[in-house]
């Protein structure tokens, strides 16, 4: 009979590595060097076996637990145990060899905690940032440029990497471009906001519902070495439904109202608002547009931007049309938009057992 150690070695070989959606589907998930056929029943037999020949109860528990994890990995993403995976974001869209590697923890998905998974729209939007942000904010400093400046006198590093709010501001030399203030709505695991802060010198605030926050804050802390030298990253709760009643009939065309609103607290307004795959309920388009309308800066040059990326969950998703309509009503206009395809690992993947192809719509908006 196999020892506990040899059983564990065999079970470890059956682990399915979490995907990080590399550029091509073929690269994203290497074919296992064994046939999947028979693996679920092999694992089930181990789990149901008393393992009587193994003396140690602790060893038995370890084997059962390992086999259960391997079985869960084969039961679709909802049954998978918590995973940590690394997302490679190219520093430069032309040359994809240099990357910022963002490591994210995703807890097990339970109930409707969809914010605990990194969705493909977030990955696609994160990969567009190296091209998009310099266009939106000419003169924005990349992280490599800021590394070349002598930042020593201006930098306050955190005493503990685990500090949740990584506020270690750099006082920039007077001739530099100010860092854009960025807000991510429905940040989930934090990929988009963290990518922005790792690639460029920014002040970024990642938000989501309170029950998503502990994991989001963990991911902010875990990636502090990538963002700390040049960016300020914070995470906090934001419930869109609370903005539901504010400015209900307020259109941005009324400039006096806008100025009044800016006067109240200009520091809480943002140059850029990011949102990826953030519409899950019928009321979300209305709520998110109210939040964007309340929190996006307004100036004569209309420089502030909203960038949204959403998957097509059907051929003509009603939530896309509703969002467009509400954005227009609120006084926003489209600057540019497009479609692209990415690969996701949701549920049982595609029929061939590869990754599921997902079409996404992205759109950049400004005040009209």
- Token pair of 321, please? 């049309």
- In angstroms, the CA 110 to CA 114 distance is 8
What is the b/e burial string over 269-287, where b = at least 16 CB atoms within 10 angstroms of the residue's CB? bbbbbbbbbbbeeeebbbb
Q: Is the pLDDT of residue 42 over 70?
A: yes
Which are the contacts of 347, defined by CB distance < 8 A and separation ≥ 6? Answer: 76, 77, 78, 356
- In angstroms, the CA 180 to CA 169 distance is 13
pLDDT of the residue at 80: 65
Please give the DSSP secondary-structure letter assigned to residue 350.
Answer: -
Q: In the beta sheet, which residues pair with residue 206?
A: 184, 235
Q: Is the pLDDT of residue 134 over 80?
A: yes
Mean pLDDT for 14-21 is 67
Please give the DSSP secondary-structure letter assigned to residue 140.
Answer: P
Q: Is the pLDDT of residue 193 over 60?
A: yes
Mean pLDDT (the chain, rounded): 79
Mean pLDDT for 225-245 is 87
Judged by DSSP in three states, 62 sits in helix
Q: Is 139 left (phi over 0), alpha (psi -120 to 50) or beta?
A: left
User: C-alpha angle with apex 76: 344 to 207, nearest 5 degrees?
Assistant: 55
Cα 26 to the center of its chain, rounded Å: 23
Does residue 260 or residue 96 have the better pLDDT? 96
What percent of the chain shows pLDDT beyond 90?
Answer: 43
- In angstroms, the CA 279 to CA 311 distance is 10
Q: For residues 190, 191, 193 and 196, what is the CA-based torsion angle, rounded to 10 degrees?
A: 160
pLDDT of the residue at 277: 93
What confidence category does residue 31 fall into, taking pLDDT thresholds of 50, 70 and 90? very low
The string of pLDDT tens digits covering residues 253-299 is 444 443 333 333 556 799 999 999 998 888 999 999 999 999 999 98
Please give the DSSP secondary-structure letter assigned to residue 114.
Answer: G
The string of pLDDT tens digits covering residues 202-213 is 999 999 999 999
Q: H helices within the chain, ranges in order?
A: 4-13, 25-28, 39-48, 57-73, 120-136, 143-148, 191-199, 213-222, 224-227, 255-264, 284-295, 318-329
What is the b/e burial string over 11-39, where b = at least 16 CB atoms within 10 angstroms of the residue's CB? beebebebbbbeeebeebbeeeeeeeeeb
Cβ pair 133, 93 in contact under 8 A: no
The pTM assigned to this predicted structure is: 0.72
Cβ pair 168, 260 in contact under 8 A: no
pLDDT of the residue at 340: 93
pLDDT of the residue at 266: 56
Q: Is the pLDDT of residue 351 over 50?
A: no
pLDDT of the residue at 265: 57
């Amino acid at each position: 009979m196999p020892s506990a150690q040899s059983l564990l070695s065999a079970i470890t070989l059956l682990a399915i590595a979490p995907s990080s959606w590399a550029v091509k589907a073929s690269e994203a998930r290497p074919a296992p060097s064994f046939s999947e056929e028979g693996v679920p029943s092999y694992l089930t037999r181990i789990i149901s076996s008393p393992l009587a020949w193994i003396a140690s109860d602790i060893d038995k528990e370890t084997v059962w637990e390992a086999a259960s994890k391997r079985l869960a990995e084969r039961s679709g993403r909802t049954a998978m145990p918590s995973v940590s995976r690394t997302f490679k974001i190219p520093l430069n869209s032309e040359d994809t060899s240099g990357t910022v590697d963002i490591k994210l923890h995703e807890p097990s998905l339970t109930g409707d905690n969809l914010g605990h998974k990194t969705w493909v729209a977030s990955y696609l939007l994160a990969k567009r940032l190296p091209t998009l942000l310099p266009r939106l904010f000419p003169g924005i400093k990349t992280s490599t440029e800021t590394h070349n400046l002598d930042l020593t006198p201006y930098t306050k590093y955190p005493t503990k990497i685990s500090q949740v709010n990584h506020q270690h501001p750099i006082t920039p030399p007077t001739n530099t471009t100010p860092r854009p203030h960025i807000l991510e709505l429905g940040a989930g695991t934090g990929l988009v906001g963290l990518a922005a802060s790792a690639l460029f010198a920014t002040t970024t605030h990642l938000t989501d519902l309170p029950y998503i926050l502990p994991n989001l804050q963990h991911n902010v802390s875990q990636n502090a070495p990538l963002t700390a030298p040049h960016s300020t990253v914070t995470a906090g709760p934001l419930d869109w439904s609370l903005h539901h009643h504010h400015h209900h009939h307020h259109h941005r065309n009324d400039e006096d109202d806008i100025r009044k609103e800016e006067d109240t607290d200009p520091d809480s307004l943002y140059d850029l608002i990011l949102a990826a795959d953030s519409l899950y309920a019928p009321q979300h388009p209305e709520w998110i547009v109210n939040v964007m309308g309340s929190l996006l800066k307004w100036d004569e040059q209309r420089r502030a931007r909203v960038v949204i990326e959403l998957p097509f969950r059907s051929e003509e998703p009603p939530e896309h049309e509703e969002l467009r309509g509400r954005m227009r009503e609120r006084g926003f206009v489209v600057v540019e938009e497009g479609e692209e395809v990415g690969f996701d690992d949701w549920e049982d993947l595609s029929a061939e057992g590869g990754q599921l192809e997902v079409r996404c719509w992205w759109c950049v908006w400004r005040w009209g």
